Homo-oligomer: A and B are copies of this chain.
Amino acid sequence: MRTPPHKTIERLSQYRRALLMVHDSDKTHIFSHEIAKIIHITPVQVRRDIMLIGYTGTLRKGYNVKELIDLIGDIIDSDTMIRVCVVGVGNLGRAIINYFSGKRTKLSIVAVFDSNADKVGKKYSGIPCHDIAELDEVIRQEDIKVGIITVPADQAQITADRLVKAGINGILNYAPKSVLVPRDVHLEEYDMITSLEKVAFYVKSD
């Protein structure tokens, strides 16, 4: 199968989130229009995405929830566990640590870092906090492949540099400042202010 378009990858993750929820109820099957409603997209889009990953549902019964969850896992999850660290144990860092813990079987936050001596040595949601000075060492020892940056803006670039130097392959940057990384490191950035400004824009132009 050709690897699906970027947008489809994104939606697969959303589909799974939704499916995991309905799976907790007693529903075994779900229609494309039901998934669509949850994600706020059209049923056609759902069917098209599902077609792209080579799954077929049952006419007039819809898609088997468990099967679809598993297939999405086969596509977007790694075979092996991907080990992740969070740099910066401020409010946002803690929110992420908390939120993720145990949520996915193939992703695991195994270390967090901070420069604040009061935080070093403590555990956050069971994950040990190291001094940022040990970043390189811990990342190698723990075989960490992805780093999440939640430090203040003025430390974003230096943090990214350190992560790259330590051999990380992917970075998710939440600091309100873009960072530069080599082309072989996958970078994802998110700025909350952009989202809020977008909402504000579309609200005002009503």
Interface 1/0 per residue, A42-72 and B, CB below 8 Å: 0000000000000000000000000000000
Per assembly, the copies of the chain total 2
Residues of A15-53 whose CB lies within 8 A of B: 17-18, 21, 37-40
Known A-B contacts A92-B95, A188-B195; A146 and B200 likewise in contact (beta carbons under 8 Å): yes
Contact B95 A178 (CB under 8 A): no
A84 within 8 A of B: yes
Beyond A37-B180, A169-B203, A188-B199, 4 additional pairs, beta carbon < 8 A: A13-B193, A40-B178, A92-B95, A99-B193
By a CB distance below 8 angstroms, the chain B residues around A91 are: 91-92, 94-95, 98
Distance, CA A18 to CA B197, complexed state (A): 15
24 of the cross-chain contacts (CB-CB < 8 Å) are A9-B198, A10-B194, A10-B198, A13-B194, A14-B178, A17-B177, A17-B193, A37-B180, A40-B178, A76-B200, A76-B201, A78-B204, A91-B94, A91-B95, A92-B92, A92-B95, A96-B192, A107-B196, A146-B196, A148-B196, A170-B200, A170-B203, A172-B199, A188-B198
**Chain A interface residues (CB < 8 Å from chain B):** 3, 9-10, 13-14, 17-18, 21, 37-40, 76-79, 82, 84, 90-92, 94-96, 98-100, 103-104, 106-107, 145-146, 148, 169-172, 176-178, 180, 184, 186-206
